[in-house]
């Protein structure tokens, strides 16, 4: 048997162009989200416990994604009919209406995104892609089938990327970093003159010339 090609977009790559069938009709990615952020996440299979908890959790944060002008799209290799029935079950049994589309992928699409990992069977792994308004992949997370994701981290990551694009790098655990809370890290000085001047800048707080931070705007 020929070995299947395993691909995976890297950070800074353009998101692969895909024409897909979803529970909301056909979509073209990333073109349908041109000018806005979007999160694409895959799940191993419909009608499974961990995936159901994830979909409920994503839906409960759907308004937060909308406030950030960020689209949300789910995906697995189940057929669209399965997705539709599962969404119907979630609404009926759990009282949660899933408002975002779910892609019915085939193996070719899943492999193109690196969502079918060798040794993990035919189900897609739990992948998360955060894509910026230019269609560039900015963050990737992969989880094994047996571990559910933390959706608050996905929300935090989108916020952090949007802020870092405009203001600068964010610290660990932002906005609740142990050292500087929600403040923004200033890029380290690249020459001696700038390093000396930075320590005198009253608008900044510095541990040293290479570690200065400023207020979040």
Q: What are phi and psi of 33, to 5 degrees?
A: -115, 20
Delineate the domains of the chain, giving CATH numbers in brackets.
18-148 (3.40.30.10), 168-217 (3.30.1020.10)
Task: Report percent pLDDT > 90 for the chain.
Answer: 78
So what's the pLDDT on residue 123? 61
Predicted confidence at residue 146, as pLDDT, reads: 85
pLDDT of residue 125: 74
Catalytic residue positions? 51
Q: For residues 119 and 79, what is the distance between their CA atoms, to the nearest angstrom?
A: 23
User: Quick one: pLDDT at residue 9?
Assistant: 86
Q: What is the pLDDT of residues 48-106, one digit of tens each?
A: 999 999 999 999 999 999 999 999 999 988 899 999 999 999 999 999 999 999 999 88
Predicted confidence band of residue 116 (pLDDT cuts 50, 70, 90): low
State pLDDT tens for residues 127-169. 899 999 999 999 999 888 888 999 999 999 999 999 999 999 9
Starting at the earlier edge strand, list the strands of the sheet with 184-186.
184-186, 211-214, 205-208
pTM: 0.90
- pLDDT 10s digits, 183-193: 999 999 999 99
pLDDT of residue 2: 40
Q: Determine the Cα–Cα distance for residues 56 and 34; give it in Å rounded to an integer.
A: 26
Task: Round to whole Å and give the CA distance between 34 and 61.
Answer: 22
pLDDT digits (tens, 9 = 90+) for 190-209: 999 999 999 999 999 999 99
| Residue 139, phi then psi, degrees to nearest 5 | -155, 140
Give the residue among 137, 213, 151 at the shortest CA–CA distance from 179: 213
pLDDT at 121 over 80: no
Single out the residue of 87, 121, 124, 90 nearest to residue 105, CA to CA: 124
């Amino acid at each position: 048997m020929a070995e299947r090609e395993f691909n995976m977009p890297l950070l800074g790559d353009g998101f692969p162009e895909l024409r897909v069938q979803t529970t909301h009709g056909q979509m073209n990615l990333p073109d349908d989200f041109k000018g806005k952020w979007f999160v694409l996440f895959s799940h191993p299979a419909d009608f499974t416990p961990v995936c159901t908890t994830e979909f409920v959790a994503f839906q409960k944060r759907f308004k937060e994604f909308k406030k950030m002008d960020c689209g949300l799209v789910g995906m697995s290799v189940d057929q669209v009919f399965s997705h539709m029935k599962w969404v119907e079950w979630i609404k009926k049994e759990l009282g949660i209406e899933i408002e975002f589309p779910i892609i019915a992928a085939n193996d070719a699409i899943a492999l193109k995104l690196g969502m079918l990992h060798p040794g993990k069977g035919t189900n897609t792994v739990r992948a998360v892609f955060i894509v910026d308004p230019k269609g560039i992949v900015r963050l990737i997370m992969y989880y094994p089938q047996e571990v559910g994701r933390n959706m608050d981290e996905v929300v935090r990551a989108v916020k952090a990327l949007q802020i870092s694009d405009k203001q600068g790098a964010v610290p660990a655990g932002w906005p609740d970093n142990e050292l500087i809370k929600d403040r923004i890290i200033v890029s380290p000085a690249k020459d001696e003159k700038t390093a000396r001047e930075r320590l005198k800048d009253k608008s900044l707080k510095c541990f040293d010339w290479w570690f200065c931070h400023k207020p979040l705007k």
